């Protein structure tokens, strides 16, 4: 026992030397809401970390905490990072918004980057997000071309603006090809429960949809679609391995370039507060290769992607009617980012009532 | 070889004190082996796990923040378990307490006065107690198993909270994200000593509740009633105690304390309602209650230990890069050892060899 | 379409049924093991890993059963030999299982698994309406039915079953009659572990053939609830599991039809239904008293 205490003391001494020596490198720290093994949201952020580490090499040191619950634990986790010598901290879930800002106020020298939020209460807080809906529009175009039934199934997680935006973009894309196209929505009330997502996919297929898309994280719906012999879209990562003959394409969250850019800015001392909402143009949203579709559909999808990527076309361009038929956007009018980021209504053609 | 237990004539005071230390020792050894197998320096890992979180004042505050709901819920549960009422739905009572306690700051944000906070706490207690009364009523009236009903009601409470923060109580200025408005300063539970960290009065409530219930259990007739009805309902009936009333009493106390924990957490540590407000405190508290041997004072220590294992887990993740899963497995191991070593308090362990003659006393008769 | 919905319900119910039927044996012997979730997730990761490396889902199933049983031994040693508190030990087992499975499965994340083939019997499987439902499902579906029948037969029609139940009802008198209480409880706990492991393998090899951390997502708890729900009777567990499955799937269909009821309310239906049915069943006080193992959760130390 005595020996253990001694070695603890020795360890403590080593520790304090350790921190002194480490100050040369920039330390980038990440907080994930799920396990890095979720193969979805947190997994992709961790891939971004790995990419950044490879790009910047010796200049950075990294650390991460996974499965940090939103709520009281988040603040502690962020503060611990701030105290442990992190120079930049990425908090990668919406629920970390208030804790991030609170801790940022206490540590003005540390940079904070909060994903998907809108509060920047201190000059050392930046926010970033991705325009996933751009990819969903392209999916809608493909779905309308590929579907014989004229109706797609949409497995949704929670009714937050980002998800609603995705459903709307998907419908708009589909209607650009087939104005009568319909979407059935099932809320799984989870980001992550393979069994439930599989059940939702089966329920939708049994009700006659012949294309499945999802805004939940697991690969289960893709497998169900494969089994039932219909087509589907992947989510968050390229899921082609789970449906080699099924996946049409997938929206891949590629956080790597953003993380390289921002950490490098800290290394160079050029970091500034900003609010970035990057899409296909910035390379934050990448489409997995278009597959399992005829050449003409592929060509149309590629053209649509190119138009969005070049900035020539915005999916939320009028005329767009709301679900009840009333006008939302006039012809040629483009939705403001502020409205989109707080979106809580459907466009015409969605076969669901949005929880209010 | 076979292991046999011999009941001690009475609780061993020596092992009551020693068993946590033995458990810690065993955990350290097993942990060291595990970390070595993972290719980490075991001493360093254990240092981060158990010592690092205790080195700084802010971290001690965090320990109090994490331990407060665990202790508060667990002492209430101890009354339940001692009286043979298997409430495992404290998580739901926590959530409902948080919701009812938040009625004032969410629906009447302009009502700002010193009285808001006391009212919130009372409403939180009332909400948690009322939700706890459901399984109690079903048990008394229909003889329905309370383990199951209280557990099912947890899921219902969580979904109800989810619906509230996405629907009727959604923050009008929150960009349609699922959260309520942030509480006004008069609705926030103050920090005890804000200069050094963010521990709030919830921790004080926890300690007070633990001491009060300890006093009740060990010094009052009501406490005697709890113990008698728990150990032998027949004897309790002969003594004139009512089984039904005890069911309600236990559920109301534990539900009320869970509700208080809920509103304290929301008002003190979070500052608004969100779809998830608890990382499973209601379930972790069950472990805390048993780690503390269902003794309110023991529960204080147990709550702090479990909280430490969360904080230490984070420190280990950051500093030496062991993953969250290792942390959880390690937690499970710690619990196993603590539970196993507590056996020594009531029993002596004998290793019985293949031939009866080779019986070896493993521990001295104390 | 109707047949497909029934099959979906069967798939959702089968893992719950398997785990709950295992647990009923454990509880009938007087032991409450709340670690089902932990044993299940260990079974899921083992089944997936072994099937992937050997290419045989059946070997995966076998390994999951063995690992489930071994893992439950840990619980058995603590609660039976060292008489620790069963509730707390079960919870600790769940914690350990979730952590350990995550560690073991780290390299399996993102790999498509091996799906167990469905049964196909020429002619019979092609019958209209019922062919696929009765003769064309996954093999473990049939195993789950056989298991239920077997456990029901064992508990209520065999001498060994009677012995097991007598231990659960009163371990002291069973001991006095010379029954080896602890040894039989060990076997019961291991059987429960084996079933939980099998249920886990069902998740990672049939339901959703992949490995993701925490993929059991609370199903172990539902299985535990089903045991009480069924008042410790195997056939009622079957009914309960299918009812639970039907309500869960039904709410998804209701949503897909766009009926506009808050999804949270629909999601809570299975739980509310469980409570309601439970109240209805338990109103008959005598019936539940007869079925509840009286020694459930109580520690037992043989005196000499």
With beta carbons less than 8 A apart as the criterion, state whether C248 and C198 touch. no
H helix runs in chain C, sequence order:
2-28, 36-54, 57-76, 86-104, 131-135, 139-157, 159-169, 171-176, 181-202, 219-229, 234-256, 263-282, 285-291
Q: What are phi and psi of A231, to 5 degrees?
A: -100, 160
Residues in chain B closer than 8 A to A81 (CB atoms):
318
* Residue A4: predicted pLDDT: 46
Q: How far apart are CA B167 and CA B133, in angstroms?
A: 26
Nearest Cα of chain A lies from the Cα of B178 at a distance, in angstroms, of: 7
Q: Are residues B69 and B161 in the same domain?
A: yes
Q: Which helix (H) or strand (E) holds A152?
A: strand A151-156
Q: Which chains touch A (3 or more CB pairs under 8 A)?
A: B, C
What order of strands is seen across the sheet that includes strand B2-7? B2-7, B347-352, B360-361
Question: What are the phi and psi torsion angles at A339 (to 5°)?
Answer: -65, -45
Same domain? For A347 and A242 the reply is yes
Q: Are C50 and C67 in contact (CB under 8 A)?
A: no
User: Residue B304 sits in a domain of what CATH number?
Assistant: 1.10.3470
Nearest-CB residue to B156 (from C87, C88, C272): C272
Q: How many domains does chain C divide into?
A: 1
- Cβ contact B271–A70 (<8 Å): no
Condensed to tens digits (0 to 9), the pLDDT of residues B294-312 reads 899 999 999 998 899 889 9
* Same-domain pairing of A218 and A89: no
Chunk chain C into consecutive blocks of 10 residues (it has 304) and report each block's average pLDDT, rounded to whole numbers: 86 96 96 94 96 94 97 95 87 90 87 83 77 82 96 96 93 90 95 97 93 87 86 92 90 82 80 83 69 79 68
Q: Which of C102, C262, C264 sits opposite A37 (nearest CB)?
A: C102
Same domain, B355 and B297: no
Q: Where residue A24 falls among pLDDT bands split at 50, 70, 90? A: low
Which chain B residues have a beta carbon less than 8 Å from that of A80? 59, 314-315, 318
In this structure, the answer to whether residues B238 and B292 fall within a common structural domain is yes
Q: A350 — phi, psi (to 5°)?
A: -90, 130
| Domain-embedded: residue A267 | no
Nearest CA in chain A to B181: A98
On whether residue C90 sits in a domain, the answer given is yes
Do C275 and B325 count as a contact with CB atoms less than 8 A apart?
no
Instruction: Look at C100 and B144 and tell me if their CB atoms are within 8 Å.
Output: no
Give the CA angle between residues C38, C42, C48 to the nearest 5°: 145
Evaluate the CA torsion angle C257, C258, C263, C266 in order and state its sign. Answer: negative
Cβ contact, residue pair B175, A161, below 8 Å: yes
Subunits next to B (3 or more Cβ pairs <8 Å) are A, C
B154 near B92, Cβ under 8 Å?
Answer: yes
Our CA-based measurement puts residue A255 at a distance from the nearest CA of chain C, in whole angstroms, of 18
Residues on chain B touching C286 (C-beta within 8 angstroms) = none
- Determine, yes or no, domain membership for A105: yes
Chain B residues lying within 8 Å of C102, measured CB to CB: 323-325, 328-329
Task: Give the residue on A whose Cα is nearest the Cα of C118.
Answer: A227
Residue A258 lies in a domain: no
Asked if the structure places residue C302 within a domain, the reply is no
Determine whether the interchain pair C8/A218 forms a contact, defined as Cβ–Cβ distance below 8 Å. no
Q: Contact A195/C257, CB-based, under 8 Å?
A: no
From the list C78, C91, C262, which residue is nearest B163 (CB)?
Answer: C262
Are B130 and B235 in a shared domain?
yes
Least Cα separation, residue C146 to chain B (angstroms): 27
Cβ-nearest to B339 among C84, C213, C221:
C84
* A16 occurs within a structural domain: no
How many CA atoms lie within 13 Å of A227's alpha carbon, on the beta-carbon side?
A: 25
Query: Are residues A209 and A341 both part of a single domain?
Result: yes
Which residue does chain A place closest to B267, by CA atoms? A72
B306 domain-assigned = yes
How does residue A355 score in pLDDT terms, banded at 50, 70 and 90? Answer: low
Q: Is the pLDDT of residue A88 over 90?
A: yes
Sheet (strand A111-115) strand order: A60-65, A26-31, A88-91, A111-115, A125-130, A275-278
Q: Dump pLDDT digits (tens) for A246-266.
A: 999 999 989 999 999 999 999
The total domain count for chain B is: 2
Whether residue A206 and residue C4 make contact (CB cut-off 8 A), yes or no, is yes
- How many structural domains does chain A have? 2
CATH of the domain at A201: 3.40.50.2300
Does the beta carbon of B171 lie under 8 angstroms from any beta carbon of chain A? no
Same domain, A98 and A224: no
**Would A317 be classed as within a structural domain?**
yes
Which residues of A touch chain C, with CB atoms under 8 Å apart? 35, 37-39, 43, 153, 184-187, 189-190, 192-200, 202-208, 218-220, 223, 227, 237, 241-242, 351-353, 355
The answer to the question of residue B116 being in a domain is yes
Confidence of residue B355 (pLDDT cuts 50, 70, 90): very low
- Do the domain assignments include residue A338? yes
- What is the reported pLDDT for B1? 62
Q: Is B54 a domain residue?
A: no
Percentage of chain B lying above the pLDDT 70 cut: 96
List the structure tokens of B40.
Answer: 């980490």
Complex ipTM, two decimals? Answer: 0.87
CB B177 within 8 A of CB A160: yes
Residues A180 and A31 in one domain: no
Examine residue A85 and state whether it is found in any structural domain, yes or no.
yes
| Contacts with B54 from chain A: Cβ below 8 Å | none
pLDDT, tens digit, for every residue of A178-205? 999 999 999 888 887 889 999 999 999 9
Tell whether A293 and A331 lie within a shared domain: yes
Confidence (pLDDT) at A20: 43
Range of the domain at C270: 2-291
pLDDT tens-digit readout, B315-345: 888 888 888 888 788 878 888 888 888 888 8
For residue A151, give the chain C residue with the closest CA.
Answer: C256
A vs B: CB pairs below 8 A: 104
Nearest to C224, CA basis, from C20, C58, C12, C66: C20
Mark yes or no for CB contact B145/C91 under 8 Å: no
Check A84 against B272: CB less than 8 A apart: no
User: Does residue B233 sit in the same domain as residue B332?
Assistant: no
Find out whether C22 and C33 touch, Cβ atoms under 8 Å: no
Give the integer Cα–Cα distance in Å for A238 and C197: 30
Quickly state the pLDDT bin for A16 (edges 50, 70, 90).
Answer: very low
pLDDT in tens, B206-228: 999 999 999 999 999 999 999 98
pLDDT in tens, A99-123: 999 999 999 999 999 998 888 999 9
Residue B34 lies in a domain: yes
Q: Over pLDDT 90: what percentage of chain A?
A: 62
Nearest residue to A68 via CA among A35, A112, A114:
A35
CATH for C216: 1.10.3470
Q: For testing the chain A interface, which of C95, C113, C208 should be mutated: the one with the most A CBs within 10 Å?
A: C208
Same domain, A119 and A190: no
Are C263 and C241 spatial neighbours (Cβ–Cβ below 8 Å)? no
Q: What is the pLDDT of residues A253-301, one digit of tens each?
A: 899 999 999 999 999 999 999 999 988 988 889 999 999 999 999 999 9
| Together in a domain, B113 and B216 | yes
User: Of A98, A130, A162, which marks where a domain is finished?
Assistant: A130
Domain carrying residue B84 = 65-312
Do residues A98 and A117 both lie within one domain?
Answer: yes
Q: Are residues B80 and B31 in the same domain?
A: no
Domain-embedded: residue B229: yes
Number of other CB atoms surrounding residue A327 within 10 Å? 12
User: Measured between CA atoms, how close is C20 to chain B, in angstroms?
Assistant: 14
Q: Which residue of C has its CA nearest to B231?
A: C298
Query: Is C208 in Cβ contact with A203 (below 8 Å)?
Result: no
Same domain, yes or no, for B172 and B291?
A: yes
Chain C nearest C-alpha distance from A16 (Å): 30
Q: Are C65 and C43 in contact (CB under 8 A)?
A: yes
A169 and A116 part of one domain: no
If you measure CA to CA, which chain A residue comes closest to C108? A37
Q: Measuring CA to CA, which residue among B28, B54, B9, B1 is closest to residue B341?
A: B28
Residue C84 Cα, gap to closest chain B Cα (Å):
6
CA dist B320 and B334 (Å) reads 20
Q: Average pLDDT of chain B? A: 88
Residues B103 and B141 in one domain: yes
pLDDT higher than threshold 50 for residue A2? no
In a domain, residue C211? The reply is yes
Using the 3D structure, point to which of A130, A150, A180 is the last residue of a domain. A130
B240: phi > 0 → left, psi -120 to 50 → alpha, else beta; which?
left
Shortest alpha-carbon distance between residue A146 and chain B (Å): 33
| Of C8, C256, C262, Cβ closest to residue A184 | C256
Measure A311 CA to nearest chain C CA, in Å. 33
As given in the structure block, the two tokens for residue C282 are 């338990």
B317 assigned to some structural domain: no
Q: Quick one: tokens of A163?
A: 């998800």
Burial class (CB in 10 A: 0-12, 13-18, 19+), B33: exposed
Q: Out of A106, A130, A154, pick the residue that ends a domain.
A: A130
């Amino acid at each position: 026992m005595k020996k253990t205490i001694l070695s603890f003391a020795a360890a403590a001494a080593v520790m304090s030397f350790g921190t002194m020596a480490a100050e040369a490198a920039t330390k980038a720290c990440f907080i994930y809401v799920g396990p890095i093994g979720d193969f979805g949201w947190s997994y992709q952020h961790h891939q971004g970390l790995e990419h950044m580490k490879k790009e910047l090499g010796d200049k950075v040191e990294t650390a991460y905490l996974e499965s940090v619950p939103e709520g009281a634990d988040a603040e502690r986790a962020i503060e611990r990072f701030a105290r442990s010598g992190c120079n930049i901290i990425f908090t990668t879930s919406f629920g970390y918004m208030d804790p991030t800002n609170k801790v940022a106020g206490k540590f003005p020298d540390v940079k904070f980057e909060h994903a998907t939020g809108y509060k920047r209460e201190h000059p050392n807080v930046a926010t970033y997000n991705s325009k996933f809906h751009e990819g969903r529009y392209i999916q809608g175009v493909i779905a309308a071309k590929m579907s014989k039934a004229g109706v797609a199934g949409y497995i949704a997680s929670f009714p937050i603006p980002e998800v609603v935006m995705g459903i709307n973009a998907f419908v708009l894309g589909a209607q650009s090809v087939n104005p009568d196209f319909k979407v059935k929505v099932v809320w799984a009330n989870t980001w992550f429960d393979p069994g439930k997502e599989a059940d939702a996919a089966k329920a939708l297929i049994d009700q006659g949809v012949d294309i499945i898309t999802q805004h939940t994280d697991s690969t289960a719906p893709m497998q169900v679609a494969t089994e039932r012999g219909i087509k589907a879209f992947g989510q968050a990562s390229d899921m082609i391995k789970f449906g080699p003959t099924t996946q049409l394409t997938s929206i891949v969250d590629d956080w790597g370039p953003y993380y390289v850019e921002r950490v490098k800015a800290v290394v160079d001392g050029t970091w500034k507060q900003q609010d970035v909402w990057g899409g296909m143009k910035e390379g934050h949203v990448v489409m997995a290769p278009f597959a399992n579709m005829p050449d003409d559909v592929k060509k149309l999808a590629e053209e649509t992607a190119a138009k969005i990527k070049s900035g020539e076309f915005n999916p939320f361009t009028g005329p767009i009617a709301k679900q009840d038929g009333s006008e939302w956007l006039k012809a040629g009018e483009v939705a403001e980012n502020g409205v989109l980021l707080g979106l809580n209504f459907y466009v015409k053609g969605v076969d669901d009532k949005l929880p209010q | 070889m076979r292991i046999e237990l011999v009941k001690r004539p009475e609780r061993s005071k020596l092992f009551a004190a020693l068993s946590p230390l033995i458990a810690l020792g065993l955990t350290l050894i097993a942990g060291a082996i595990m970390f070595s197998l993972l290719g980490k320096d075991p001493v360093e890992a254990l240092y981060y796990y158990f010592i690092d979180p205790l080195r700084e004042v802010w971290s001690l505050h965090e320990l109090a923040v994490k331990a407060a709901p665990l202790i508060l819920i667990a002492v209430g549960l101890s009354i339940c378990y001692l009286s043979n009422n298997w409430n495992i739905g404290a998580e739901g009572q926590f959530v409902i307490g948080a919701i009812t306690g938040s009625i004032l700051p969410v629906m009447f944000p302009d009502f700002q006065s010193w009285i808001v906070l006391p009212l919130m706490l009372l409403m939180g207690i009332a909400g948690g107690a009322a939700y706890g009364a459901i399984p109690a009523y079903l048990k008394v009236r229909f003889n329905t198993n309370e383990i199951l009903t209280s557990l099912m009601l947890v899921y219902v409470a969580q979904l109800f909270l989810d619906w509230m923060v996405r629907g009727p109580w959604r923050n009008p200025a929150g960009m349609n994200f699922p959260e309520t408005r942030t509480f006004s300063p008069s609705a926030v539970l103050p920090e005890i000593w804000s200069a050094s960290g963010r521990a709030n009065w919830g921790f004080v409530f926890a300690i007070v509740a633990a001491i009060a219930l300890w006093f009740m259990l060990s010094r009052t007739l009501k406490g005697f009633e709890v113990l008698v009805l728990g150990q032998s309902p027949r004897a309790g009936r002969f003594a004139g105690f009512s089984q039904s009333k005890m069911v309600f009493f236990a559920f109301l106390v534990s539900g009320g304390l869970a509700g208080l924990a809920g509103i304290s957490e929301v008002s003190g540590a979070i500052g608004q309602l969100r779809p998830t407000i608890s990382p499973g405190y209601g379930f972790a508290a069950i472990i805390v209650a048993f780690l503390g041997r269902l003794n309110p004072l023991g529960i204080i220590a147990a709550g702090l230990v479990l909280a430490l294992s969360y904080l230490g887990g984070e420190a280990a993740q950051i500093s030496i890069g062991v993953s969250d899963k290792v942390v959880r497995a390690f937690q499970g191991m710690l619990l196993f050892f603590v539970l196993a070593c507590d056996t020594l308090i009531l029993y002596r362990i004998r290793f019985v060899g293949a031939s009866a003659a080779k019986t070896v006393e493993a521990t001295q008769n104390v | 379409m109707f047949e497909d919905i029934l099959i979906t319900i069967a798939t959702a119910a089968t893992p719950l049924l398997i785990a709950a039927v295992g647990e009923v044996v454990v509880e009938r012997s007087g032991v409450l093991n709340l670690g089902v979730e932990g044993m299940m997730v260990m079974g899921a990761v083992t089944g997936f890993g072994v099937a992937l490396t050997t290419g045989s889902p059946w070997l995966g199933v076998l390994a999951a059963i063995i690992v489930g049983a071994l893992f439950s031994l840990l619980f058995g040693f603590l609660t039976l030999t060292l008489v620790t508190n069963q509730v707390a030990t079960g919870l600790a087992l769940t914690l350990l299982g979730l952590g350990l499975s995550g560690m073991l499965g780290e390299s399996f994340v993102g790999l498509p698994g091996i799906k167990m083939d469905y049964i196909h019997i020429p002619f019979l499987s092609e019958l209209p309406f019922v062919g696929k439902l009765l003769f064309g499902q996954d093999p473990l579906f049939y195993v789950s039915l056989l298991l239920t029948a077997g456990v029901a037969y064992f508990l209520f029609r065999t001498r060994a079953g009677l012995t097991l139940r007598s231990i659960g009802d009163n371990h002291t008198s069973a001991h006095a009659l010379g029954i080896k209480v602890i040894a039989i409880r060990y076997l019961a706990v291991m059987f429960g572990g084996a079933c939980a492991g099998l249920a886990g393998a069902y998740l990672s090899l049939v339901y959703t053939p992949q490995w993701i951390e925490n993929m059991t997502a609370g199903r172990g708890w539902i299985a535990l609830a089903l045991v009480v729900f069924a008042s410790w009777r195997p056939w009622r567990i079957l009914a309960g599991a299918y009812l639970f499955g039907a309500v869960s799937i039904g709410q998804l269909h209701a949503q897909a039809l766009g009926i506009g009821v808050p999804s949270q309310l629909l999601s809570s239906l299975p739980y509310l239904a469980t409570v309601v049915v439970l109240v209805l069943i338990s109103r008959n006080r005598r019936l539940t008293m007869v079925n509840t193992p009286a020694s459930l959760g109580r520690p037992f130390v043989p005196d000499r």
